[in-house]
Structure 1
Amino acid sequence: MSGQELESGSKVRTIRSVEDGLKYDQYVDYNSLENALKMFAKNDPDVVTLHELPPHTSENRSILAVELRSDRQSRKAGILIIGGLDAMAWGAPNAILELSHKLLYDASYQTPFFNDYDWYLIPMANPDGIAFTQSLRSRQPVEPMMWLKNDTVRSVTRPREWHKNVDKEPGQAPCFGTHINRNFAYHWQDDVRKTPQKCSQYFPGSKPFSTAEAKAIRYYVDKLGTYIDLAIHLHVSLVPRKEYILYPWRYSLRQPSNYRTLQEIGEYAARKSRLADGRLYEVHQSSSDERVAGTLSDYVSGVVGIDLVFLLRPYHQMFPNYTDTDVLSTYVKKSISTVLSVVRGWRRNTKQNTLSFFGTDVEF
């Protein structure tokens, strides 16, 4: 289809309709992600900014953040999306990369999604952990505790699940790794009487922000501050037919002051992103299932002060077949649909992009 010109803020951009298939049809690794984001920034420097967030991870990688802003001269409502924080969330970087590509180059996503918002995206918040799990994917699985404590077993197998990074703290051997989504300084460890042992998949670190990954995210979101109006942690559900749209708090059963708004937006998004088999996402406060302290979503809400924070958990297989593009495509499409449905729900709730005709609000 021939290109067409569209006014986007202060810059006229060439856009096109993009086929429905995946642009990135394999699970992206860190190098592939970095190359793709650098290409975005090179091709469209007026609307794309790429940041390497300090500090480096234990394996010397940078957490990459990409900003998509149609008009650098003004600030629009900001949307923050962070994915790939869990080492099992292989598809989350793909989903955010695919969404970025559509926002930049697909005519059907330009209005209102690209033109009306500033997008702040961290596709792979745990690059070491994802690289680690992907590197072991062809081995036979064993229980993580057995894998950690038996050198012979470790040489030929992989842990059945791994949710952490690969940090090695002093005195931690043979155990290593910290669960980044337990490492943020908001009610850290309020959910347990005793800190999980270092071999546990839920080890929260020796103190809040002991991980480079959590520090990098804190550096970025604290700096953005009031520019963010909506924050989304794109996570995974590893249980079939259990998929969620959740909101704070995770550490406590106490309801946030705006829980009705969060519930309404979540329910709207669930209806608009109905799953292929007809089910709806379950929508409720995160702690209704399990209390978890020190999480990203609670930190963004409780410390950074963003009112609208959601945790999205589409189903994702544990150690999925690396060559099965249908599995990857299903997760990516569900993720993008759900993210954009949350944005639509927010817009509808605040009466953005609506006109009133004879007393009836019509969204456009």
Structure 2
Amino acid sequence: MTLITSQMIHSAPFHDQLEAVRLADAHFDAQGQVETTGDIDRKVVCLRPMRKGLPEISAESVGEQVRVHLYGHGGSGWTLLWGSIEKAMALFEEKAREHKFNDQVSITIIGAGCMGKAVALSLFHAGYRNIRIVAEQDNRIASLNSTGYLAMVSLATESETEKQEAEQLAIETLKGYQSVDRGTHPIVNEGVHLIDVYSGLGKEGEEGPLETYTGIEPFAEAGLLPKPQQGVVEFSTGVSYPMQKFQTYFMDTAVIMAAFDHELRTRNIPVIHETVGSLDDIKTYVVFNCSGLGAASLNHDDKVYPNMGLLLELAHQPLKKLDYIIYTRYQPPDAPKRSSPPDKADIYFMPRSGGLLGATFVDHNDGSDNALNEALFTRILRENKQFFGYPLNTH
């Protein structure tokens, strides 16, 4: 299958030949459900802690206690990480001066995701020594399931002002990842590198990859990342598409979280597995509330809600040859036309772990509808097989 002309090949500024994701042995039964999935290692349902509007980054005094809130980043926790922590730390330092706290003040951090662990290490770097993290668990959390794609694609901002504020947090985070990539970050210096991101150029009504908002545009427009190029992508299966190529930072979330854990152990910062029922139960002088979805009840915040995503973790992939990201809307051949929003990708490949496929954004969904989940897993696999040029095997 080809969707390009010879004239387009000669005029394109790039013609990239890429290894295709291996999906050849995935079959579907007569009802269209996945039957055998030798290249699929694990199906993952993940919940993003969305918050209507902006993430909550604030500080308040409750008697002698200071509470710093740092939650509600949706699927953009890694994209807004360092900018959000910098803002939260500035708010905390202001309160610390008001309360005359010293470097031995007792600090509890609720939540062991990327925000919780990174803020603990940031506090240690700032000189504080009496720190602990409290969380129900820290091994099956959204931060580990996150794809690690630095892009503004999973927030619920409601105005241009909110969008600009979120973009500023993202720009500060980008600077943080640049220092990680250079090896000069004070907390972590592994798991981050620049990567090519391919997105469609097709228009509504056409087949193949369609024009898509990638979330990298604000960085490119600010001159912080390269502007996109247009050209042709040809996969090893023989399928070719006109696409545009961006660059952004890819964060291998498992590597970075493992690095955070190593640094926490080195600094004797404990992670205590407990359930926090109320902020009033925490008796330390300082509380950092990085509780994600738990903030809905802990901070009585009705703007927080779950946004479900699904991932297929892959096996048997030539991962060294798959160092690219695909983020695009996609219209399969001979399928009913659909008009998904321009910022919602249908094809979403990341080279994290053994490689993964995703691309579902189901608002206000807690992941408990197993029939819906299986239908979405099947759609992800079916459309990725078509995109990468594999036949749909049914029997």
Same fold (TM over 0.5): no
Q: Which protein, 1 or 2, shows the higher relative CO under an 8 Å CA cutoff with sep ≥ 6?
A: 2
Which structure is higher in helix share? 1
What is the TM-score of this pair, normalised by structure 1?
0.31
Which structure is higher in strand share? 2
- Bigger Rg, structure 1 or 2: 2
